[in-house]
Amino acid sequence: MDIQHLQRLVPDAGQRFDPAACLAAIPALNRLAETPQDAHYHAEGNVWIHTCMVVEALLEQRAYQQATDAQRFVLFFAALLHDIAKPDTTVIDSESGRIGQPGHSRRGAVDTRLLLWRAGVPFEWREQICRIIAVHQLPFFALGDSRSGHSAEFILHKLSWELPVWMLCAVAEADMQGRDYIGKAAVLDDIELFRQLAAEEGCLHGPRAYADDYTRVQYLRGARVHPDYALHEPSGSQVIMLSGMPASGKNTWVEQQHPQLPVVSFDDARQQLGLRHGENEGAAAHHAIEQAKALLREQRPFVWNSTHLSAQMRKKTLDLLYAYQAQVEIVYLEMPEATIFQRNRQRDTSLSNEALRRMLFKWEVPLPTEAHRVRYCTQDAERRR
């Protein structure tokens, strides 16, 4: 399967989609027909029945029919793959028999990223699809019980920097249309109100404007500030925080781009402590963090060189950096799978390819909302947000 094969699966405006061709191209979809759903929310049946109904509902939308080829690719695969992780997240209550799939959205984004990366899908298309899948149910409840404690306006302000909100609304609408559920009409009303609110907030078709990057970061991290009024920015270190798989070129990037800067690195900490990869990670982390704190106290610029592969891993580092008022630029590096494994075999490391392969299932690309600036250095292009 490659990008050309996937593009042939995407229907033009007014065309039907071919379920059999999709099942043949993406074998993981075959498991959906064997995966049950809770009859209260999905009286239509299994996950594959629901998925086909969702795709068909999407194709009927004006948003899909008027979209560009690239936009249709994103919309189609966001709908087709939105429940790809339900087989692996299904739990059935032993007493009530109720079925749930907790965490299927976030897991689905990771699974989809792997699938589309291996197929050579352009980075921007792939990440739009994955980001939509990660939050595809959010418009169902954002106006009421947001479950996050944030207002619908805040949620939209953040989302608009991460994905095309109009696309998220289109997929959410199709997701709700493509099911047999007694409460469907009310949820569709909420999705439409969510879409209208996005338009009123000026972020349905693009990112919400902020006074500056510092104000944006403080606002999105929960500070009680208005996004239109600039905050005074205190002085702090200028920190470049790297993110990417092992063997994706982070060390080379630092040597070529910022050879003059101090580098904080868990790998260097392991070497200094005489530890192998995976051995006493706590000691290596403590050593690196103490190095970073010393630089932050002196307000010196530096590079933090680590995989920072998941949102949780990045949050630990970012919380520390922001506590010291650092100005943060995340630089994300990516290479094809074959390149990464070949490089890892050839370099002097205690990290095996099998251990590296397991890391792929924690892979979450940094979001533009995580730092003052985020730079994406990939094979097909370099982008800044």
Q: What is the pLDDT of residues 102-112, one digit of tens each?
A: 999 999 999 99
pLDDT for residue 99 is more than 60: yes
Q: What is the pTM of this model?
A: 0.94
pLDDT value for 385: 63
What type of residue is 2?
D
**Minimal CA–CA distance to 335: which of 265, 251, 263?**
251
Q: Looking at residues 163-169, what average pLDDT do you find?
A: 99
- Domain 238-384 CATH (choose: 3.30.300.130, 2.40.10.340, 3.40.50.300, 3.60.21.10): 3.40.50.300
pLDDT value for 384: 61
pLDDT value for 47: 98
pLDDT value for 274: 67
**In contact, 214 and 189? CB cutoff 8 Å:** no
Residue 358 confidence class, pLDDT cut points 50, 70, 90: very high
Percent of the chain with pLDDT over 90: 86
* Largest CA-CA distance found in the chain, in angstroms, rounded: 63
pLDDT value for 145: 62
* pLDDT one-digit tens code per residue, 267-292: 777 777 666 665 556 777 888 999 99
Rounded to the nearest 5 degrees, what angle is found at the Cα of 340, between the Cα atoms of 304 and 120?
110
pLDDT for residue 146 is more than 60: no
Q: What residue has token string 């619908």?
A: 152
Residue 380 confidence class, pLDDT cut points 50, 70, 90: confident
Tell me what the pLDDT averaged over the chain comes to.
94
pLDDT value for 22: 98
pLDDT value for 305: 97
Domain 3-200 has CATH 1.10.3210: yes
Cα–Cα distance, 26 to 113 (Å, whole number): 13
Q: What residue has token string 């781009």?
A: 257
pLDDT for residue 306 is more than 60: yes
* pLDDT one-digit tens code per residue, 20-63: 999 999 999 999 999 999 999 999 999 999 999 999 999 999 99
CATH 1.10.3210 domain residues, the chain: 3-200
Residue 351 confidence class, pLDDT cut points 50, 70, 90: confident
DSSP 55-123: HHHHHHSHHHHTS-HHHHHHHHHHHHTTTTTHHHH-EE-TTT--EE-TTHHHHHHHHHHHHHHHTT--H
